[in-house]
């Protein structure tokens, strides 16, 4: 290369860099002292929300006035937010506005089902709509930055935060990540009804060893790239404005100090242009991880590419010293500050720091009746019919019903975990919902059992208010009352499962069955000989082998949100025919975990479920799960026939379309999620037996037949190979289409 071409290149690259920067932000940066820049990297919470660590911020007001705060979270309402913004805008030298964050995980005041439930709808438009409503309501209360979506893949239902994500699958998880980001951010971040999203937790948080929260992660790069990274990347490709790091380590370095993760991958490979915030005190926690003192871990984090420090104040209290000692450079501090200022710019806060602060908006935009309508619809769409028995469901609206269970007449648990902005008092108990939807039914209620009889468990889950109350009556008295009520009814509906904080953050469990107190209740109710319907609540896949073997119908309802009772009644009484599908595999027992559908064949596959020596299997359990990924029944039945591929041979970069005939053969109109799975028969690294590569939700009237088409894009054939290149390798492929991951309609094609 000649000298002059090097000079041209240098100026070109300088020019493109300059083009990508925002002049207003650069002008501001040029005026800022190093202390002011460090101040922007500090994110604090003044309390009043949920503190998810042992530390909360102090002297917030003084710190804002001293220019030591870049953003606040956990505060709301135009009055409070205006007050804080006034301090920043009027009392600091440069008047830089604050950004206001919050955890709006499944709705703001209008609480939707928990994310694992929303995912079970497989309805991307609906998910996007819930995110739009969350953004409208939250921005009405002054918030402009949301710590959502949580897209961590989870294949271990012991992990309590399974509730907060979309389940086990990278393809579905990516579609949901994209829908949520688009819903929150819209196409104009400066609009008063959109907010900046923050995809979390980068990365691999859902793979904590043994499902124990905050535990270590150790994973091959091939698995990271193929199975765990896609949803984060999908959020980034959809333009997410910020990323939150995770608590766990990856290859021995916690995410918040992991340069490979935050710089090489996120910025250099994925081209992420937004800012990265730590999780709650996760910078400080690198001390406990064993990486040094606060100054050392804070410098490590900044050098790794972390921009904002949540709550821990390691940046605020040590970065200047590290700078003076040459351990971090001014350029690094400036870069982090630039990214945070750019986010504020993109939100329109430099034009108007009070853009999201309007006293009139809360009354106008929060809890609009149409939002509750969507919450009800979303809940009905999240439910998964796990078992049908003797056509007990749907119930007649004039039935004589025994409604049993602590959760059946409860408001405190309906919103589920991570709903700090919601108000449980607004939620509809199931008993009330039954009366609303079926006013002519005869409904008798009995508690039947405590959610758990274990007082220590009750204490541990009653952290954010009391949701488990141990009755003054003995378990025997409770049971006897319920059995007596059941005997007088024609049908029993028992609402059983977890209390809301039995899943969620720091709620990992090693026993994931229905609590013993309620298992006993179920047995006693079944023993009455009455038809029994179990309405099952949980924030994770449960072990329900015993219950699946009983003569009962089972409807999984997760935690349905503010419209819980009405939505459950809609489905129980047949106003809506359930169509949800599991997005995480349900194991036979805890010993099968980790468990997921896209398993590999191994060199010694077990041909059937009969144990064979020297095959990959268990002596004491099947390999197959209790309920496969994608599983879910309907009041009607569907029949799949005639799967066809548009071509049996395709070239690289060519797409393919498939068609299948779907018939509603049952007695109800209904929806079905048609699922497409792909198997790459031979490739350079061992392929999974099948991976999800498409889905479509279709409605069919009873008796109706439809041809459903699905597309396989050229990209769907690609995977990350041993060199982590994203490639499609020539050879044979098989496709399976059907009602869940055991889909049996099969076709094949060859990639040339």
The verdict on 106 binding ligand BGC (CB under 6 A) reads no
Interface with ligand BGC (CB under 6 A), residue total 7
DSSP string over 28-78: HHHH--HHHHHHHTEEE--SSS---SS-----HHHHHHTT--SEEES--SH
Residues 6+ apart with CB under 8 A from 474: none
Q: Looking at beta carbons only, is 115 or 515 nearer to ligand BGC?
A: 115
Q: Looking at beta carbons only, is 69 or 691 nearer to ligand BGC?
A: 69
Angle between helices 124-140 and 369-382 (to 10 degrees): 140
CB of 41 to ligand BGC, least distance (A): 16
The residue behind tokens 């349900």 is 586
Catalytic residue among 279, 307, 570, 716: 279
Q: Are 562 and 428 in contact (CB under 8 A)?
A: yes
DSSP lists the bridge partners of residue 400 as 442
Q: Looking at beta carbons only, is 244 or 524 nearer to ligand BGC?
A: 244
Residue facing ligand BGC at closest CB distance: 52
The C-alpha angle 200, 205, 207, rounded to 5 degrees, equals 145
CB of 213 to ligand BGC, least distance (A): 9
CB of 193 to ligand BGC, least distance (A): 22
Answer for which of 128, 200, 346, 376 binds ligand BGC (CB under 6 A) is 200
CB of 205 to ligand BGC, least distance (A): 8
Element (H, E) at 259: helix 259-259
Q: Are 135 and 186 in contact (CB under 8 A)?
A: yes
The verdict on 570 binding ligand BGC (CB under 6 A) reads no
DSSP lists the bridge partners of residue 384 as 556
Neighbours of 469 (CB within 10 A): 15
CB of 311 to ligand BGC, least distance (A): 8
Q: Looking at beta carbons only, is 190 or 215 nearer to ligand BGC?
A: 215
DSSP string over 358-427: -TTHHHHHTT-HHHHHHHHHHHHHH-EEEE--TT-PSPPTT-EEEEE-GGGG-STTTT-SS-TTS-GGGS
Q: Looking at beta carbons only, is 206 or 580 nearer to ligand BGC?
A: 206
CB of 47 to ligand BGC, least distance (A): 12
The verdict on 280 binding ligand BGC (CB under 6 A) reads yes
Q: Looking at beta carbons only, is 164 or 227 nearer to ligand BGC?
A: 164
Q: Looking at beta carbons only, is 206 or 587 nearer to ligand BGC?
A: 206
Task: For residues 596 and 574, give the distance between their C-alpha atoms in angstroms, rounded to a whole number.
Answer: 31
Task: For residues 167 and 406, give the distance between their C-alpha atoms in angstroms, rounded to a whole number.
Answer: 27
Cis before residue 230, ω within 30 degrees of 0?
A: no
Beta strands 249-250 and 649-650: pairing type?
Answer: unpaired
CB of 411 to ligand BGC, least distance (A): 24
Task: For residues 734 and 745, give the distance between their C-alpha atoms in angstroms, rounded to a whole number.
Answer: 10
CB of 295 to ligand BGC, least distance (A): 23
The residue behind tokens 């104040």 is 313
Task: For residues 138 and 81, give the distance between their C-alpha atoms in angstroms, rounded to a whole number.
Answer: 12
CB of 280 to ligand BGC, least distance (A): 4
Cα–Cα distances (Å) from 608 to 419, 605, 615, in that order, read 44, 9, 10
Q: Looking at beta carbons only, is 103 or 309 nearer to ligand BGC?
A: 103
Q: Looking at beta carbons only, is 164 or 169 nearer to ligand BGC?
A: 164
Task: For residues 509 and 108, give the distance between their C-alpha atoms in angstroms, rounded to a whole number.
Answer: 28
- CA terminus-to-terminus distance, the chain: 39
Interface of this chain with ligand BGC, residues 666 to 725, rule: CB under 6 A: none
Task: For residues 255 and 261, give the distance between their C-alpha atoms in angstroms, rounded to a whole number.
Answer: 7
Q: Looking at beta carbons only, is 161 or 372 nearer to ligand BGC?
A: 161
CB of 597 to ligand BGC, least distance (A): 26
SS3 state of residue 244: strand
The verdict on 279 binding ligand BGC (CB under 6 A) reads yes
Task: For residues 748 and 684, give the distance between their C-alpha atoms in angstroms, rounded to a whole number.
Answer: 19
Binding pattern for the stretch 361-400 against ligand BGC, x by CB under 6 A and - elsewhere: ----------------------------------------
The verdict on 501 binding ligand BGC (CB under 6 A) reads no
The verdict on 147 binding ligand BGC (CB under 6 A) reads yes
Answer for which of 36, 70, 103, 572 binds ligand BGC (CB under 6 A) is 103
Binding pattern for the stretch 504-533 against ligand BGC, x by CB under 6 A and - elsewhere: -x----------------------------
DSSP structure class, residue 110: S
Q: How many residues appear in the chain?
A: 752
- Of the candidates 724, 744, 655, the one whose C-alpha atom is nearest the C-alpha of residue 260 is 724
Q: Is residue 410 annotated as a catalytic residue, yes or no?
A: no
Task: For residues 555 and 560, give the distance between their C-alpha atoms in angstroms, rounded to a whole number.
Answer: 12
Cis before residue 249, ω within 30 degrees of 0?
A: no
Interface of this chain with ligand BGC, residues 46 to 85, rule: CB under 6 A: 52
DSSP H helix total and E strand total for the chain:
23, 26
Residues that bind ligand BGC (CB under 6 A): 52, 103, 147, 200, 279-280, 505
Catalytic sites, residue numbers: 279
């Amino acid at each position: 290369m000649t000298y002059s071409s090097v000079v041209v290149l240098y100026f070109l690259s300088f020019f493109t860099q300059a083009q990508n920067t925002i002049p207003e932000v650069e002008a501001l940066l040029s005026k800022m002292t190093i202390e002011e820049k460090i101040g922007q990297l500090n994110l604090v919470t003044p309390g009043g929300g949920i503190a998810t660590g042992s530390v909360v911020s102090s002297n917030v007001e003084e710190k804002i006035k001293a220019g030591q705060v870049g953003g606040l979270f956990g505060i709301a309402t135009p009055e409070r937010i205006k007050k804080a913004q006034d301090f920043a805008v009027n009392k600091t030298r440069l008047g830089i506005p604050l950004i206001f964050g919050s955890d709006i995980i499944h709705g703001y005041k209008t609480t939707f089902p928990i994310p694992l439930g929303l995912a079970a709808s497989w309805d991307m438009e609906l998910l996007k709509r819930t995110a739009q409503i969350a953004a409208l309501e939250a921005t009405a209360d002054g918030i402009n930055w949301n710590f959502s979506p949580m897209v961590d893949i989870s294949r271990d239902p012991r992990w309590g935060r399974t509730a907060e994500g979309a389940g086990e699958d990278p393809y579905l998880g990516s579609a949901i990540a994209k829908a949520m980001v688009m819903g929150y951010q819209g196409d104009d971040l400066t609009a008063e009804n959109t907010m900046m999203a923050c995809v979390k937790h980068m990365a691999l948080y859902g793979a904590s060893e043994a499902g124990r929260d905050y535990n270590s992660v150790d994973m091959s790069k091939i698995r990271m790239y193929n199975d765990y990274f896609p949803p984060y990347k999908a959020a980034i490709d959809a333009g997410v404005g910020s990323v939150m790091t995770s608590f766990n380590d990856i290859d021995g370095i916690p995410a918040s100090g992991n340069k490979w993760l935050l710089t090489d991958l996120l910025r250099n490979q994925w081209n992420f242009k937004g800012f990265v915030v730590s999780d709650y005190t996760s910078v400080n926690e690198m001390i406990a991880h064993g990486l040094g003192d606060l100054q050392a871990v804070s410098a490590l984090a900044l050098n790794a590419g972390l921009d904002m420090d949540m709550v821990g104040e390691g940046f605020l209290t040590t970065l200047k010293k590290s700078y003076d000692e040459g351990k971090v450079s001014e350029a690094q501090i400036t870069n982090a500050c630039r990214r945070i200022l750019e986010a504020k710019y993109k939100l329109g806060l430099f034009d108007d720091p009070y853009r999201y602060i309007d006293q009139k908006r809360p009354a106008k935009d929060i809890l609009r009746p149409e939002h509750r309508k969507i919450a009800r619809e979303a809940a009905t769409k999240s439910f998964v019919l796990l078992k049908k028995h003797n056509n007990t469901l749907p119930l007649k609206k004039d039935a004589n019903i025994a409604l049993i269970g602590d959760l059946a007449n409860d408001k405190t648990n309906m919103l589920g975990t991570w709903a700090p902005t919601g108000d449980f008092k607004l939620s509809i108990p199931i008993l009330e919902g039954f009366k609303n939807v079926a006013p002519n039914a005869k409904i008798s209620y009995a508690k039947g059992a405590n959610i758990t009889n274990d007082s220590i468990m009750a204490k541990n889950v009653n952290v954010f208010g009391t949701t488990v109350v141990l009755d003054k009556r003995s378990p025997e008295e409770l049971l006897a009352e319920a059995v007596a009520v059941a005997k007088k009814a024609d049908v029993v509906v028992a609402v059983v499962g977890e209390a809301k904080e039995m899943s969620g953050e720091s709620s990992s469990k090693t026993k994931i069955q229905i609590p013993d107190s309620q298992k006993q209740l179920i047995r006693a109710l079944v023993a009455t000989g009455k038809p029994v319907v179990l309405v099952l609540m949980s924030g994770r896949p449960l072990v329900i082998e015993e219950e699946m073997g009983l003569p009962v119908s089972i409807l999984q309802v997760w935690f349905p949100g503010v419209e819980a009772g009405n939505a459950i009644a809609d489905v129980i009484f047949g106003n809506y025919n359930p169509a949800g599908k599991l997005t995480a595999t349900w194991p036979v027992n805890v010993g099968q975990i980790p468990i997921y559908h896209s398993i590999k064949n191994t060199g010694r596959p077990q041909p059937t479920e009969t144990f064979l020596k020297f095959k990959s299997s268990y002596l004491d359990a099947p390999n197959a799960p209790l309920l496969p990924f994608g599983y879910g029944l309907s009041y009607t039945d569907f029949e799949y026939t005639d799967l066809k591929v548009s071509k049996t041979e395709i070239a690289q970069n060519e797409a393919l379309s498939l068609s299948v005939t779907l018939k509603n053969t049952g007695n109800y109109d209904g929806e079905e999620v048609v699922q497409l799975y792909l198997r790459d028969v031979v490739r350079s690294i061992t392929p999974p037996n099948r991976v999800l590569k498409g889905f479509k939700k279709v409605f069919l009237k009873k008796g109706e037949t439809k041809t459903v088409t699905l597309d396989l894009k050229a990209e769907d054939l690609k995977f990350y190979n041993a060199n982590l290149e994203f490639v499609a390798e020539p050879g044979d492929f098989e496709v399976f289409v059907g009602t869940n991951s055991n889909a049996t309609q099969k076709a094949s094609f060859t990639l040339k």
